[in-house]
A and B are shown apart, each in its own frame.
Chain A
Amino acid sequence: MDNKILIGGLIVAIIIAILAPFLASSNPDGLESTAEKIINEDALHKNLQALGLEEEGTVAPSPMPDYSIEGMGKVGEVIAMIVGTLIMLALAYGVAIVLKKPSSN
């Protein structure tokens, strides 16, 4: 029963992960759209300079930025999503196993 939940959930997640690169809207999200309209460029520039970044993003390089693999197009996006889903499952399972309350027996 417990394994059924894990496998069932993983199957649903993998299906979504495979479909997402094809179905997801490429429009900017709510925060990005807001930023395009109203961001204070001076303040942004000052923050970026303090961090040594050229544009907003993250201070550490990521292996698969924007859920893609360079030069691999849609295939790379599908692989990135599947890898991400498996990493997520493993991390959540590992953390939950370590943190769960001690069993009574």
Chain B
Amino acid sequence: MHIPDGFLPIWESILFWIISLIFVAKSIMWAKNNLDEKSVPLFAALAAGIFAIQAMNMPIPWGTSGHMVGSALTAIIFDSPWAGVLMLTLVLIVQGLFFADGGLLAMGANIFNMGIIGGFVGYYVFKALKKSNVALASFLGGWCATFLAAIACAIELAIGGVFPLDKGLMYMGLYHAVIGIIEGVITAIVVSYLSSTKPDLVKSLSTQ
């Protein structure tokens, strides 16, 4: 759901850059207070993995495809939605600068949808459900993150006048309800795998 330049009016692109930069600044503060030296390799490895898996579009019905985003997974592993914001900001910078995936002006909106909405929704859904079942909580965290990021994207495009609101919500919601399953399954697999083999790496499970 990378918004290209041209989909949003300039004023709206700038507005979302301003909003997102405030969150990015907070995510930098999070790193300065919480990211310990031991976690640096994990953060970098996760970034490489998320970049690669984002290019792996998987087919869904209706001649459409979708891919993992990864902010929910990052937020769960680092026990903070701010980790997801920082991660997706870096991923979107590389994608936008080197691969024309998502516009540079629209990057603020893309950070807002995939980093901020994705990170916060994914983290708090997981946190609310982790006591019942970690895999299910991870799946639903990932699914809700993708679905609500897409809903936010549809609303932004409706505000800009490029999509009609009703049909935008319907199609974006429908497609991403399915794409969210990809996000949920991969998030659940990675969190389950890490929590069984290297439980100390999944910070939201080792702390209360």
Residues of A within 8 A of B (CB): 2-3, 5-6, 8-10, 12-14, 16-17, 19-20, 23-31, 33-35, 37-40, 43-44, 46-48, 50-51, 53, 55-67, 80-81, 83-93, 95-97, 99-101, 103
Assess A91 versus B41: contact at CB under 8 Å? Given A34-B171, A44-B7, A67-B99: no
Q: Specify the chain A residue showing the minimal Cβ separation from B176.
A: A30
Tell me whether A93 and B44 are in contact (CB under 8 A): yes
Contact call B90/A92, Cβ cutoff below 8 A: yes
Number of interface residues of B (CB under 8 A): 79
- Would you give 17 A-B contacts (Cβ < 8 Å), ordered by A? A24-B65, A26-B65, A29-B2, A30-B179, A31-B172, A37-B171, A40-B162, A47-B10, A50-B10, A62-B96, A66-B100, A84-B98, A88-B48, A88-B94, A91-B93, A96-B31, A100-B31
A62-B98, A91-B94 known; A51 vs B33 contact (CB < 8 Å): no
Tell me the smallest distance from the CB of A47 to a CB of chain B, in Å: 5
Instruction: Report the Cα distance A103→B4, complex, angstroms.
Output: 40
Q: B162 contacts which chain A residues (CB < 8 A)?
A: 35, 39-40, 43-44, 47
Which of B15-23, B102-110, B123-131, B136-144 forms contacts with chain A?
A: B102-110
Query: If the complex has contacts A25-B58, A56-B5, are A33 and B171 also in contact, measured as CB distance less than 8 A?
Result: yes
The verdict on A55 contacting B6 (CB below 8 Å), with A13-B51, A85-B52, A91-B94 known, is yes
With A85-B51, A87-B98 given, can you name 8 additional A-B contacts, CB distance below 8 Å? A8-B45, A16-B53, A17-B55, A30-B1, A35-B163, A43-B160, A47-B9, A58-B100
| Bound-complex Cα distance A46 to B34 (A) | 45
Residue of B8, B31, B36, B172 near A30 (CB, 8 A) is B172
CA distance in complex: A61, B97 (Å): 8
Question: Across the interface, do A10 and B100 meet the contact criterion of CB distance under 8 Å?
Answer: no
- Cβ of A101 and Cβ of B5 under 8 Å apart? no
Scoring B6, B32, B48, B91 by chain A CB atoms within 10 A of each residue's CB, the highest score goes to B48
B4 adjacent to A89 (CB under 8 Å): no
Contacts of B38 in A (CB 8 A): 2
Most buried by B among A19, A33, A46, A86: A33
Q: Which residues of the partner chain A approach B100 to less than 8 Å between Cβ atoms?
A: 57-58, 61-62, 65-66
Residue B59 is within 8 A (CB to CB) of chain A in the complex: yes
Determine if B207 is an interface residue (Cβ-Cβ < 8 Å). no
Contact B7 A35 (CB under 8 A): yes
- B167 CB to closest chain A CB (Å) equals 5
Contact of A51 with B7 in the complex, beta carbons under 8 Å: no
Question: Are A97 and B57 interface neighbours, CB within 8 A?
Answer: no
**Complex: how many Å from CA A44 to CA B7?**
6
Q: Is the CB of A13 within 8 A of B43?
A: no
